[in-house]
Amino acid sequence: MTPTAEKFIALIEIITRLRAPNGCPWDRKQTPQSFKQYLVEETHELLEAINDDDPSHICEELGDLLFQVIFLNNLYQEKNLFTLLDVIDSITTKMVRRHPHVFGNQTIESEQELRQQWQTIKNQENERKGHPRHPLDSIPKSLPALRRAQRVADRVAREGFDWPDLASALGKVDEEFAELHHAFAHGSRTDIREELGDLLFALTVLARKADIDGEDALHEATTKFSRRFLTLEKIMSKQGQQFVDLAPEALLLIWQQAKSEADTAPENN
């Protein structure tokens, strides 16, 4: 047995021990429903580690996520619904089946052809299961809104429903922005909410058309804003000022100073 296999089995045994009658009370009371939140949290912690490009942190978070996956499997295995072997066998068979250009004799000439083949195989799988699904149905509604919008925009573009060029997509953003202006001036709160959603979706489509990951772009913008705001607070603290004491014009001047200082700090160069 290889060291990796030994460690993997040891982890399974640890989880089994935690769930045993004399194990950990917290682990014993978990259900698939109660455990979902921890799975989501660990996934986001791994994503943050990847964004930070910290190998040691990524290694740690991968371990945490692996624990979550095996623990969740154990909850179902205890009910004799399926085993870890079933899970591994299922994904192994699926990956081989969906890569005939690797494990078979098919050839692929382009990424577009690869995507089409992947979707065709998925459709065939769903038909064999007796419940064919539209490609949009496979996009989880529980995804973060921006990520879900990106996936939907990408999926329909593969079907041929797409703007012919970047200028057209940008024109749609301008159109939706004008409609939002009109809603603020003449519409109800419901109208404003709808038009704001339309504008956000149009921006998502524009990002895809520009080959930019909107989720990453928004994260970067939020991080930049947070960095500038923290600098703003430091400047105001040194000057003994508070937000309530400043007129909008004075606050804007300090904000411009904070932007300059934050963006030229050594750690951002």
At residue 165, φ and ψ (nearest 5 deg) are -155, 175
So what's the pLDDT on residue 267?
Answer: 65
Confidence of residue 113 (pLDDT cuts 50, 70, 90): confident
Return the SS3 of 130: coil
The answer, yes or no, to whether residue 132 has pLDDT greater than 70, is no
Beta-carbon contacts of 243 under 8 Å, excluding residues fewer than 6 positions away, are: 236, 251
pTM given for the model: 0.67
Weakest mean pLDDT among 78-92, 109-123, 192-206: 109-123
> What mean pLDDT is predicted for residues 121-134?
78
Angle, CA of 27, 32 and 35, to the nearest 5°? 55
Identity of the residue numbered 199: L
- For residue 27, the surrounding DSSP H or E stretch is helix 25-28
